[in-house]
Amino acid sequence: MHLRPVQFVDTPVGLEDGSVARLAGGMQWFAAYEVREGTSRRTVPVARFGQALGGSPRAEALHAAFTTPRAPWVIGPRTLCFDQPQVAAILNTTPDSFSDGGRHAGDPAAAADSGMAMAALGAAVIDLGGESTRPGAAPVWEGDEIARTAPVVERLARGGALVSIDTRKAAVMEAALAAGAGIVNDVAALLWDDRALEVVAKAGCPVILMHSPDPEKGGHGGGGYTDVLTEVFDWLEARVAAVVAAGVPRSRIMIDPGIGFGKSLADNLALMNGLALFHGLGCPIMLGASRKRMIGALSNEAPVDARLGGSLALALKGAEAGVQLLRVHDVAETVQALHVWRGLRDRALMG
């Protein structure tokens, strides 16, 4: 069984008690669940949840996950709250990333300056990477990746920024955490490097686990899906359980459905439309759709540097689904869009 919140409402004000539920402690309220069991679909109002699904332990557990607020991450002197969508700024120190490769390669000071500027523009997290994960990218030796990232982490942390290290390699994680990073963001969900899970568990740091169909081999393989939404959910559910069993608290785990990693355009669209389902994992959600190939596919093959409009559309789609962290290239524009979205939500919640 899978549940997906549907029938979102502007405000609970004036509605009967128990007729709507708040999604994950955020700014969204919903009035019903889409219940998926195999190929069947039905809609159950929140008001009738106890009658229709109350006898199912699976449904009860999912309902609790959907309606429980996400605990903030306290990371040293910084606190990352999840009661509204926030921005994680993408900062690459690679020569070959698909969007901005080469801009900051070989210049830690300039990279750190760029990161601090994005923090000043409103980014809650600076997501720093030293290896491209685009399809066909050449692997990077861990020593080179450390040399690209650790000096930048140190400068950013010294400046007061909250840094996540975007890497699959345990040694890079260790070096970044020692330099002041607070979060590990692994596109391989701690499966590419045999030591990665041990490093995260020992450090006690929060971790972001992303779905890809073949993480041990780069994340862009896979043979297609029958139901991409539930299959990605099930994979992440199992992976979260394994990471929790290894000693990482569920409250320190964020999940990412992996838009663009081993997925077709139709798969990515289905994931975007069904994002609310992933709150059933009981973890905050990261969405990384900025400048992705799907935008070009839907806009006359727009090049990477001409995908701002599509990136903002996907970011706001994520916000509407209760996504807590939006990983983006265009920080100022996304923050402004979220400010306007927040104003609309605040006014709507007043009734």
Which residues are tagged catalytic? 292, 327
Exposure string for 273-294, b = 16+ CB within 10 A, e = fewer: ebbbbbbbbbbbbbbbbbbbbb
Distances, alpha carbon 338 to alpha carbons 85, 108, 276, in Å: 8, 30, 18
Report d(CA 3, CA 203) in Å as an integer.
34
Cα-Cα-Cα-Cα torsion 244, 150, 97, 275, nearest 10 degrees, comes to 30
Distances, alpha carbon 70 to alpha carbons 19, 282, 307, 343, in Å: 22, 8, 31, 22
Report d(CA 299, CA 83) in Å as an integer.
33
Q: Strand 125-129 relative to strand 163-166: parallel, antiparallel, unpaired? A: parallel
Check if the beta carbon of residue 127 is closer than 8 Å to that of residue 176: no
Q: What amino acid occupies position 45? A: P
